[in-house]
């Protein structure tokens, strides 16, 4: 049966700004009829008689064609531009898709289920109680308001899926907290780049409104031990550029730089991508180019720039590199190494084998392990320099072996006691959109789906 003719025309085209989004321009005396149909299919109004379809799975051309077929079957004239037709006919797939056994149709079905979850969250049908990081992706827990069913969600964007269900929010939250208590945060996760792009496409046909960045607060002057880490690679490059008696080379994997003094008895190792709390610098000294190591020093990735600069300055001076192999670390050595701290009034305490010097604010310190000093082992730290809430929760640490020269340690102590640096004030934490009610909800990841990148 031929459907009755409707005085409405729909022109479908690609979005002028966002690549995969699709626009629908409506004309005709009965344009309100396709308008209602498209809105029901989750097209969004951006202007009078203009709607946009923007999805997180980038399948808008496919669903636009489905909409066109339905509109045509209803007796509405539909025009598809050549640009959109090209996008509809384009053959593409996701790069490194985590479920390679799926056909193109099955991949689209998985993406559509992820889109439905996203739409339920966006429209308030699915209330997210909490989210967390899990193996480089995002997990979340929420409850459908219409049914009361609680779900555990795994993944982001087109890979988000329901991995488990619960009879009540309380059960879900207890489970979620048990598995993700360390990284759990209240409310939904911040929008991904894909979600942000889709939101922009749904609200405007033009370029997104530029939101001026608030002026950056001026850096504050702080003690050297509390300064920002800065650019460690730039510090090393500047050191090598100004000291021709050092030569550098990088490993084949390009993740580590080695700097060696022309005497080949002093070496620096810089690990470029080391996390803030892991070793990023190793300085080692040798009696001869082929002898065993005499002493070594390590520093973590968050070590402040002024502290590293002081270390490099000492190495550049060439004084006090070596120390007598096997010489005991006596009271004279310890006193010389820590004299600047004592002169600055740092608190001095003895606790069994450990001798400690702590800043007046309690936010930095030096610890000497007398036991290790008398039983030297190059793999153990005799000296530990730190800053942060406490030694156990230090923001950064620097460790040194038993025979590290007291002159080097004294220079570092002087820098801790009197050095200054700059730190960018911490940004104010963003207010959470929703608060975590009672117990946070938790759910085990039934099917771990890794995040992938997409190419077309």
212 confidence band (pLDDT: 50, 70, 90): low
3-state secondary structure of 150: strand
Higher pLDDT, 209 or 129: 129
Mean pLDDT of the chain: 86
Cβ pair 170, 432 in contact under 8 A: no
What is the model's pLDDT at position 110?
93
Q: Which two tokens stand for residue 262?
A: 């022309």
Q: Is 18 exposed, middle or buried (0-12, 13-18, 19+ CB in 10 A)?
A: buried
pLDDT above 90 as % of the chain: 65
What is the 3-state secondary structure of 360-407?
CCCCEEEEEEHHHHHCCCCCCCCEEEEECCCCCCCCEEEEECCCCCHH
Domain segments of the chain as ranges: 9-89, 99-208+429-456, 226-423
In the predicted model, is pLDDT for residue 78 greater than 50? yes
Comparing 219-228, 364-373, 404-413, 433-442, which segment has the lowest mean pLDDT? 433-442
What is the model's pLDDT at position 136?
83
Q: What is the mean pLDDT of residues 70-82?
A: 93
Q: What is the mean pLDDT of residues 184-211?
A: 83
CATH of segment(s) 9-89: 3.30.70
Q: Which two tokens stand for residue 53?
A: 């379809």
In the predicted model, is pLDDT for residue 223 greater than 70? yes
What is the model's pLDDT at position 429?
32
What is the model's pLDDT at position 455?
39
Q: What is the mean pLDDT of residues 184-189?
A: 92
DSSP states of 153-193: EESSGGG-EEEEEESSHHHHHHHHHHHHTTT-EESSPPPPH
Q: What do you get for the CA distance between the two ends of the chain, in Å?
A: 41
Residue range 368-396, pLDDT digits in tens: 999 888 876 656 789 999 999 999 999 99
What is the model's pLDDT at position 402?
87
What is the model's pLDDT at position 294?
87
In the predicted model, is pLDDT for residue 426 greater than 70? no
What is the model's pLDDT at position 415?
96
Separation between Cα atoms, residue 313 and residue 315, nearest integer Å: 5
Angstrom CA distances, 447 to 19, 48, 98, 285, 389, stand at 31, 44, 11, 50, 38
In the predicted model, is pLDDT for residue 431 greater than 70? no
Nearest to 19 by CA among 47, 69, 63, 55: 55
> In DSSP terms, which residues pair with 23 in a beta bridge?
13, 52
Comparing 5-14, 196-205, 233-242, 323-332, which segment has the lowest mean pLDDT? 323-332
Separation between Cα atoms, residue 195 and residue 450, nearest integer Å: 18
Higher pLDDT, 95 or 175: 175
């Amino acid at each position: 049966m031929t459907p009755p003719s409707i005085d409405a025309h729909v022109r479908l085209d690609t979005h002028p700004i966002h690549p995969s989004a699709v626009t629908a321009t409506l004309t005709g005396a009965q344009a309100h009829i396709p308008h209602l149909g498209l809105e029901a299919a989750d097209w969004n109004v951006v202007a009078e008689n203009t709607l946009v379809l923007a999805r997180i799975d980038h399948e808008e051309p496919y669903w636009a064609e489905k909409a066109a077929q339905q509109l045509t079957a209803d007796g509405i004239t539909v025009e598809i531009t050549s640009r959109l037709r090209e996008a509809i006919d384009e053959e593409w797939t996701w790069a490194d898709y985590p479920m390679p056994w799926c056909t193109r149709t099955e991949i689209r079905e998985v993406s559509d289920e992820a889109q439905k979850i996203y739409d339920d969250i966006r429209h308030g049908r699915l209330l997210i109680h909490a989210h967390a990081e899990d193996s480089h992706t995002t997990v979340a827990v929420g409850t459908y308001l219409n049914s009361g069913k609680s779900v555990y969600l795994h993944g982001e964007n087109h890979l988000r899926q329901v991995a488990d269900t619960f009879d009540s929010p309380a059960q879900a939250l207890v489970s979620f907290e048990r598995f993700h208590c360390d990284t759990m945060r209240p409310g939904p996760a911040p929008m991904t780049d894909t979600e942000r792009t889709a939101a922009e496409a749904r609200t405007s046909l033009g370029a997104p409104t530029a939101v001026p960045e608030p002026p950056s607060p001026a850096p504050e002057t702080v003690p050297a031990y509390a300064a920002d880490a800065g650019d460690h690679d730039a510090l090393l490059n500047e050191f090598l550029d100004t000291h021709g008696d050092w030569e550098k080379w990088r490993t084949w994997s390009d993740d580590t730089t080695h700097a060696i003094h022309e005497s080949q008895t002093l070496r620096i190792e810089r690990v470029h991508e080391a996390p803030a709390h892991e070793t990023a610098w190793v300085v080692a000294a040798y009696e001869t180019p082929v002898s065993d190591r005499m002493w070594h020093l390590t520093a973590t990735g968050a070590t402040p720039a002024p502290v590293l600069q002081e270390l490099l300055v000492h190495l550049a001076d060439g004084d006090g590199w070596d120390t007598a192999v096997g010489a005991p670390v006596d009271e004279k050595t310890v006193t010389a190494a820590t004299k600047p701290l004592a002169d600055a009034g740092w608190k001095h305490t003895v606790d069994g084998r450990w001798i400690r010097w702590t800043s007046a604010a309690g936010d930095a310190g030096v610890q000497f392990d007398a036991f290790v000093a008398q039983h030297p082992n190059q793999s153990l730290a005799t000296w530990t320099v730190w800053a942060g809430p406490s030694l156990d929760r230090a923001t950064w640490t620097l460790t040194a072996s038993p025979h590290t020269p007291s002159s080097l340690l004294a220079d570092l102590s002087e820098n801790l006691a009197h050095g200054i640096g700059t730190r960018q004030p911490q940004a104010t934490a963003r207010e959470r959109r929703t608060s975590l009610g009672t117990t946070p909800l938790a759910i085990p990841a039934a099917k771990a789906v890794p995040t992938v990148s997409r190419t077309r």
